Amino acid sequence: MSSKVLAKHELLKVPLIGWTWYFLEIVFCKRKWEEDRKTVFKGLNRLKDYPECMWFLLYCEGTRFTETKHQISMQVAESKGLPKLKYHLLPRTKGFTTTLQCLKGTVTAVYDVTLNFKDNQTPTLLGIVNGKRYKADMSVRRFPVEDIPEDEQECASWLHKLYQEKDALQESYNKEGKFPGPTVVPHRRPWTLLNFMFWATLLLSPLINFAYGVAVSGSPLLIIGFIIFLIIASIAIRRLIGVTEVKKTGSSYGNLEAKKQN
């Protein structure tokens, strides 16, 4: 099973992550349709005959939720005569309608996922690396592709209606502490842990052997140099992970939308 995503072009410049995604055929966009049209169509059409089962991830809001962006987004909703959302930004429909248009016949369904972390936790990759545990509830709804309108405007209206339902779902969760409907608690899967341990051991064994060789070498200069290397690598990884934080991933989304209204 492979996963693809429609990601913002800025991520392409992030060392390791961006470069890896490029070779994994991730579709990048600048969120300016005039510039993205050819790139997005080319990337999506390339996935039509993808040889494996594939998930295509699409974040329709286009940017992180902040109070400022929410206020601006709701101003846009009011100007377009759309119902206001309390917990979400107005979805950007162009990417969704284009994806369905290009991948029709390849994908069979759209899965709407709403994820809530308990105790108002804000998870970060750095927290996960540090071993912090996060508990969450997830609501998943499946919509067969044939039930979604093919016409672009009708498809966009369908997406707006979906987000209104998501807003009501979030309101229900905030009141009840859980999503409506039956609850499924997944069983722990030891195979996942064993698989991770196998690949971690396989990939890290050269570094472990090298570290052991340095430790038994008795050379103070070599040992100090290796320790400095580990410190620098640790700092670099933490800074790299830091780009996932909301405050460090600023978007011009709100400013652009505000300019359109002026």
Q: Which residue has the higher pLDDT, 3 or 153?
A: 153
Per-residue pLDDT at 7 exceeds 90: no
Residues 200-252: tens digit of each pLDDT: 888 888 888 888 888 888 888 988 998 998 898 888 777 766 655 555 444 55
- 156 in the same domain as 175: yes
Residue with tokens 């460090």: 248
Task: Report the candidate in 142, 41, 55, 53 with the shortest Cα–Cα distance to residue 95.
Answer: 41
Residue 220 lies in domain: 190-241
Q: Which residue has the higher pLDDT, 135 or 23?
A: 135
pLDDT at 244: 54
Residues 31-78: tens digit of each pLDDT: 777 777 787 888 888 888 777 788 888 888 888 888 999 999 999 999
- 89 in the same domain as 215: no
- 156 in the same domain as 86: yes
Domain count, the chain: 2
Mean pLDDT of 153-172: 94
pLDDT at 262: 35
**How many Cα atoms occupy the beta-carbon half-sphere of 56 within 13 Å?**
27
Task: Report the candidate in 162, 167, 161, 158 with the shortest Cα–Cα distance to residue 86.
Answer: 167
- 176 in the same domain as 73: yes
Provide the mean pLDDT of the chain. Answer: 83
- 175 in the same domain as 216: no
114 band by pLDDT with thresholds 50, 70 and 90: very high
Q: Which residue has the higher pLDDT, 116 or 22?
A: 116
Per-residue pLDDT at 86 exceeds 90: yes
- 232 in the same domain as 117: no
Q: What is the pTM of this model?
A: 0.75
- 159 in the same domain as 61: yes
Largest Cα–Cα separation, the chain:
74
- 140 in the same domain as 77: yes
From first CA to last CA, the distance across the chain in angstroms is 46
Backbone CA torsion sign across 91, 92, 95, 98 = positive
Cα–Cα distance between 134 and 184 in angstroms, integer?
Answer: 18
Which positions ≥6 away from 41 have C-beta within 8 Å?
A: 98, 102
Phi and psi for 255 in degrees, rounded to 5? -65, -40
Mean pLDDT of 2-29: 77
Q: Which residue has the higher pLDDT, 153 or 22?
A: 153
- 122 in the same domain as 68: yes
Give the CA dihedral 38, 44, 48, 50, nearest 10 degrees.
130
Supply the angle between the helices 67-79 and 253-261 in degrees, to the nearest 10.
30
- 132 in the same domain as 15: yes
Task: Report the candidate in 56, 53, 1 with the shortest Cα–Cα distance to residue 25.
Answer: 56
- 225 in the same domain as 172: no
Residues 163-199: tens digit of each pLDDT: 999 999 999 999 988 898 888 888 888 888 898 889 8
Per-residue pLDDT at 147 exceeds 90: yes
Cα–Cα distance between 85 and 76 in angstroms, integer?
Answer: 11
Q: Phi-psi region for residue 184, left (φ > 0), alpha (ψ -120 to 50) or beta? A: beta
Q: Which residue has the higher pLDDT, 147 or 233?
A: 147
Residue with tokens 């998501």: 166
- 203 in the same domain as 170: no
Per-residue pLDDT at 258 exceeds 80: no
Cα–Cα distance between 256 and 182 in angstroms, integer?
Answer: 41
257 band by pLDDT with thresholds 50, 70 and 90: very low
Residue 252 lies inside a defined structural domain of this protein? no
C-beta of residue 169 within 8 angstroms of C-beta of residue 114 = yes
Residue 258 lies inside a defined structural domain of this protein? no
